[in-house]
Amino acid sequence: MGLKPYITSEKDYIVGLRRYFHRHPEPSLKEFETARRIEEELDALAVVHRRVGETGVVAFVRGKAGGGAGAVALRADIDALPIAERTGALYASEREGFMHACGHDGHAASLLGAARALKGKEAEFSGEVRLFFQQAEEIGQGARQFVAAGLLDGVGAILGTHLASLLPVGTMALTGGPTNASCDWFRITVRGRSAHVSTPHRGVDAAYIASKTVVELQSIVARRTDPLDPVVVGVGLMRAGTNYNIVANEATIEGTTRTFSPEARKRTNEAVARTAALAAQAEGGSAETRFEAYAAPLVNDEKVAARGREVARGFAEVDRILDSIPKSLGADDFADYLQVVPGVYAFIGSRNATNPATAMSHHNELFDIDEEALLVAANLYADFALDFLRPR
C-alpha cells in the first residue's frame, strides 16, 4: 500500500509549484500573481475556471461517467503572511517582509496536483469537482466570498487540508466534531484628555486606562469562564499617545477572542466590551469596542470525517490515519463552508525529525515543511472526490 501512481507521478510538478509559490508570497486580498499562476496551470489542463472576488479562483473538473450529477468541493487557501523569512532555503521568499509561514503554498500546489490527477480520470466519475483556491484565510475574508457566490449550491461534501508541523509526515488527522475555535478580531479605542505629564491630574491618561484594560481582560478567562471551556482573549497590539511628555488622549488595543461554541463566543465578546467600558469609566475616560468576525467555530461532520478516513485507508496504513487530535484555538475560515454543507478539515503531517525547520511552529520565520506531505494532501484531495463521485 502506498500513494497512488497518479499522484507520485506528479511529484516534481507539485513540489516545483510549491517552491514557486513559496518564492512569491502575497498577503491576504493581494494574491494577484498567485491567482494568475493558478489560472495558467488550469488553462494548461483545459479546466474551466473563474475568479471569486479579485484574487480567489474556482475551477470545475467535470466527470464524463454516467450515473449521477453530484458535486464535491476541495479547498486550498493561498495567502501568505507579513513575516520576514529566515530559513535560508534555496526557494526562500523573494519578497522582503512576506513569507509562506503557514503552508498555504503547499496547499495550493497539492490541489493543483489533484486537479491534474482528476482531469486524467474524468471518465471514472460523474458530476463535478469544484476546486476552491481561496484568498484571505489569514484575515477570515475569503471563504465568505465563495459562499456568497453560491459555489456550495448542490455540493454534497467539502474537504479542506492543512499541513501540520505537529504531526509526522505521512500521517493524517480527520476528526469529527469541533477541532478549531472561532476567531473574532477586536479593537478597543480608549479616549482620555491630554495634559502635560507634570500635571497628570489635569488630564485623563488613555495609556494608563489601556494598560489597566489589558490586565483586566485576562480576568474574563481566569475568573469569568468555566476552566473546562477553552477560551482565549489575546491582545497583540497596543498604541497610545503622541509624545513622551504628553498625557495620552487616545489609545488603541487590538486582539482576538477564540471559543468553541456560539454561546461562549457571545458571552466572551460581550465581556470584552463591558470590561473596556468600565475600566475607562473608572478613570474618567471612555472606551468603544469594535468587533469583526474572522471565523466561526470549525465543526467537522462526523460522517464525512469517517468517510474521509476510509478513503485515506486506500493509500495509507491504518496507524497513520488519526481520528482525533487535540482541539486547536487557532481559527480557520473553512468553518464558514461547514456552516453550509457537511465536510471535514484534514490535517496533514509535515514534520520530519531530521529537519528541525519542519518542526517549527506555524507563523514562524523559520517554518518549513517536508515536501512529501504535499503528495499525501494531493492524494487525499483526489481520492476523496473520486469516492464521492464514482458511479455506484
Closest CA to 260 of 309, 341, 327, 212: 327
What's the confidence (pLDDT) of residue 289?
98
What is the average pLDDT value for the chain, to the nearest integer? Answer: 96
Contact criterion met (CB below 8 Å) for 190 and 248: no
In tens, the pLDDT along 192-225 reads: 999 999 999 999 999 999 999 999 999 999 999 9
In tens, the pLDDT along 123-165 reads: 999 999 999 999 999 999 999 999 999 999 999 999 999 999 9
What count of residues does the chain have? 392
What's the confidence (pLDDT) of residue 66?
76
CA distances (Å), origin 29, targets 57, 104, 256: 12, 14, 20
CA distances (Å), origin 103, targets 91, 349, 351: 14, 11, 12
Is residue 392 pLDDT above 80, yes or no? Answer: no
Q: Give the Cα-Cα-Cα angle 361, 301, 147 (nearest 5 degrees).
A: 80
Ordered by where they begin, the domains of the chain are 5-181+299-389 (3.40.630.10), 183-294 (3.30.70.360)
What's the confidence (pLDDT) of residue 116?
98
Q: What percent of the chain has pLDDT over 70?
A: 99
Is residue 310 pLDDT above 90, yes or no? Answer: yes
Contact criterion met (CB below 8 Å) for 322 and 173: yes
DSSP assignment of 256-312 equals: EEE-SSHHHHHHHHHHHHHHHHHHHHHTT-EEEEEEEEEE--EEE-HHHHHHHHHHH
What is the spatial distance between Cα 126 and Cα 2, in angstroms, rounded to a whole number? 26
CA distances (Å), origin 389, targets 68, 129, 190, 334: 8, 8, 55, 22
Is residue 107 pLDDT above 90, yes or no? Answer: yes
What's the confidence (pLDDT) of residue 391?
84
Count of alpha carbons within 13 Å of 210, Cβ hemisphere only? 27
What's the confidence (pLDDT) of residue 227?
92
In tens, the pLDDT along 232-268 reads: 999 999 999 999 999 999 999 999 999 998 899 999 9
Element at 381 (helix H, strand E)? helix 372-389
